[in-house]
Amino acid sequence: MAIRKAVKGTAVVASGGLVAFYGLTQLTEYRKKQARLSHVEAVEQVNMAFQDELPSRQAQLTALRNTQEFDVLVVGGGATGSGCALDAVTRNLKTALVERDDFSSGTSSRSTKLIHGGVRYLQKALVKLDYEQYMMVKEALHERSNLLNIAPHLTALLPIMLPIYKWWQLPYYWAGIKIYDLVAGAQCLKSSYILTKTKALELFPMLKRDKLVGAIVYYDGQEFDVRAKCVINATGPFTDALRKMDDQKNPNICQPSAGVHIVIPGYYSPDNMGLLDPATSDGRVIFFLPWEKMTIAGTTDTPTEITPHPIPMEEDINFILTEVRNYLSPDVEVRRGDVLAAWSGIRPLVTNPNSKDTQSICRNHIVHISDSGLVTIAGGKWTTYRSMAEDTLDAAVKAHNLSAGPSKTVGLMLEGAKDWTPTMYIRLVQDYGLEVEVAQHLASSYGGRAYEVAKMAHVTGKRWPIVGKRLVSEFPYIESEVQYAIKEYACTAIDVIARRTRLGFLNVQAAEEALPRIVDIMGKQLTWSEQRKREELSAAKQFLYYEMGYKARSEQLTDTSEITLTPAEVGRYMKRFHKFDKENKGFITTVDVQRVLESINVYIDADTLHEILNEVDLNKNGQVEFNEFLQLMSAVKKGQVSANRLAILMKTAEQSLDQINPLEQREPVDQRKPVSVDRSGGGV
């Protein structure tokens, strides 16, 4: 989404090429905030190249190409790199930033979505008397407070519940969380508190009741040449690749770790309470958080190879599901089929090249300056991007004798924050005729810039909403967001489904459904050829299939393990199948399904029906055989698949037909295609 943020007057280009922050920016109207935060004075305009409107991509490239020398060149457009560019600009440094893909397309977009101080690191700091860990937590708590201040439209307080199942743990964890509050000091968001078992279950009814003692709640928040005097390496997991371009003899300092997250339906958690499991089966910490009306669970922490396209592995997804089962009520069936999306991000854990002990992993960030002057910022965490950028620019200014002032980013409001209020969505509803849910989404995503998105929205032709056509019915993303994304340098369909909206991270099937319309809108705006549109559609589907967990999800139906259905269940499903297979062919097609649906006055267009059957058609021959149907129903029974459209459609149709003619007798099943005993779980 908007990477403009506070750099209103700087040039920005993204996605598949170069990004440039060029020139100086006008930074005005800082709101007075809490006394504990630094107050930032407005920076006057100095040779500002562009006004309120963002310059075109071509203008950005021209500025990048024609500038004889920049003060600072930042490589990497993730959270840290963008933070470095912003920090440099506010110091009146002529700044450029290059990014090979899109803003935050790597690790930064694949986090836990939690702005937190690192309560687990505080425990390590206290147990091991580790001062470095303590200072990292203290820094993160300061940055957490600052982010909640400078981006109120994007962040909010979130209480995190830590369930207690042993009496001795209650005082132990309570003391630790209270120390967490004390370390935060004046920047403590809200004081932690203890809940009784009854109150904990009232706030988080999905919790496992057995042996629950109580809970503790704490708070956290949700390519031509370019010349420059100084180059900053902010490439995350790819830190070593750039360091070796500087000097082949440089040792590797990055030790990548894969963190997998899954998204499951929102009913798995309350919409205003998160959960922390500090003692998983292998010692890792699992977060369980409400996010975008869904539930996000994670994360894993396993060594991995560095790749620009990390893929979530099935064993990691199942590990998270297993841990989730451990602390949810037995009434809540945790099903593999409820995983709507999954992704893997690479944490760039590092060893300090200046340290004698090169084997120890540093959870804090490090700034290193090579003999040639390359400034490398590595490690750290998403929450502390601003302080990482400040430390980096401090080091760069000193090492390269740059003429620059001090950092001014503490308290600097991000783009959209200035005109945002908690009730501004009401004006969007009243002034533009948007749905309430859509208006709330726009206000919380774009802040004051939501009015621009609303102005672009097309009339729906309906009585209500008046404007704002949704990309998919169950999510509040509207078509005009695609147009706005293009203004902010979205260049591919992946940019839109993964970062300008979060469809790809929330529900891979919904994202796939939205893709044709997204490609059509982008194609019209960017004058794509039909060939380019086909390529964009294919590339986006590949992204969803591999990087967002669609492959792992779809493989739940292609598994060749035996069908675990009882003979009675096979008989029941056989009856259902043959209400559609009237001719006893042994398979059903879209024509068969259409005929049955029309008989009960249900009408679905042919393209949608084709999609529904294609999800179950394992051999992709255009028809669903009885074996494939049993495979589906077995997967549904085992929880590997949920909310399958064909399964629900056929069950509903069967019930309707039975109500219409309850005495209907079926002929014996045609045995031309018998079901093998080992696959049916007992034969027929």
Residue 292: CB atoms within 10 A of its CB come to 20
Strand-pair category, 341-350 with 254-264: antiparallel
Asked whether the predicted pLDDT for residue 443 surpasses 90, the reply is yes
218-258 confidence digits (pLDDT tens): 665 548 678 899 999 999 898 998 898 888 888 888 888 88
DSSP 185-252: GGG-SS--EEEEHHHHHHH-TTB--TT--EEEEEEEE------EEEEEE--GGGHHHHHHHH-TTPPP
Asked whether the predicted pLDDT for residue 680 surpasses 60, the reply is no
Q: Are 445 and 154 in contact (CB under 8 A)?
A: yes
DSSP assigned state of 586: S
The ranges assigned to domains in the chain are 254-349, 423-555, 567-655
Q: Are 227 and 282 in contact (CB under 8 A)?
A: no
| % of residues, the chain, pLDDT over 90 | 34
Q: Are 313 and 266 in contact (CB under 8 A)?
A: no
Note the pLDDT of residue 479: 97
Asked whether the predicted pLDDT for residue 325 surpasses 60, the reply is yes
Q: How far apart, in Å, do the first and last CA atoms of the chain sit? A: 55
Q: What is the mean pLDDT of residues 576-580?
A: 91
Residue with tokens 């309120």: 52
Asked whether the predicted pLDDT for residue 17 surpasses 60, the reply is no
Note the pLDDT of residue 456: 95
Long-range contacts of 589-592 (CB under 8 A, 24+ apart): 589/613, 589/622, 589/623, 589/624
Distance CA 54, CA 422 (A): 26
Residue 646 to residues 186, 277, 614: CA-CA distances in angstroms? 55, 36, 10
User: Which pLDDT band holds residue 187 (cuts at 50, 70, 90)?
Assistant: low
User: Is CATH 3.30.9.10 the classification given to domain 254-349?
Assistant: yes
More confident residue, 646 or 118: 646
Note the pLDDT of residue 301: 82
Note the pLDDT of residue 128: 62
User: Which pLDDT band holds residue 101 (cuts at 50, 70, 90)?
Assistant: confident
Note the pLDDT of residue 460: 93
Closest to 365 (Cα-Cα) out of 656, 613, 140, 34: 140
Beta pairing partners, 97:
19, 74
Q: What residues contact residue 331 under an 8 Å CB cut-off, 6+ apart?
A: none
Note the pLDDT of residue 375: 95
- Phi, psi torsion values for 128, nearest 5 degrees: -100, 5
Query: Residue 313 is which amino acid?
Result: M
Note the pLDDT of residue 138: 66
298-324 confidence digits (pLDDT tens): 888 888 888 888 999 989 999 999 888
Total residues found in the chain within this entry: 684
642: left (phi over 0), alpha (psi -120 to 50) or beta: beta
User: Which pLDDT band holds residue 11 (cuts at 50, 70, 90)?
Assistant: very low
| % of residues, the chain, pLDDT over 70 | 79
Q: What is the CATH number of domain 423-555?
A: 1.10.8.870
- H or E stretch at 679: helix 677-680
Give me 202's structure tokens. Answer: 């009232």
Lowest-pLDDT range of 86-95, 296-305, 405-414, 658-667: 658-667
Note the pLDDT of residue 475: 95
Distance CA 448, CA 52 (A): 14
Distance CA 615, CA 627 (A): 14
149-183 confidence digits (pLDDT tens): 777 777 777 788 888 888 877 877 777 676 656 66
Q: Are 329 and 208 in contact (CB under 8 A)?
A: yes
Q: Are 134 and 195 in contact (CB under 8 A)?
A: no
Distance CA 590, CA 645 (A): 13
Note the pLDDT of residue 115: 63
Q: Are 341 and 263 in contact (CB under 8 A)?
A: yes
What is the Cα 623 distance to its own chain's centre?
Answer: 35
pTM (two decimals): 0.76
Note the pLDDT of residue 287: 85
More confident residue, 572 or 116: 572
More confident residue, 440 or 111: 440
Q: What is the mean pLDDT of residues 345-357?
A: 75
509-535 confidence digits (pLDDT tens): 899 999 999 999 999 999 999 999 999
Which of 1.20.58.100, 1.10.238.10, 3.40.109.10, 1.10.20.140 would CATH assign to domain 567-655? 1.10.238.10
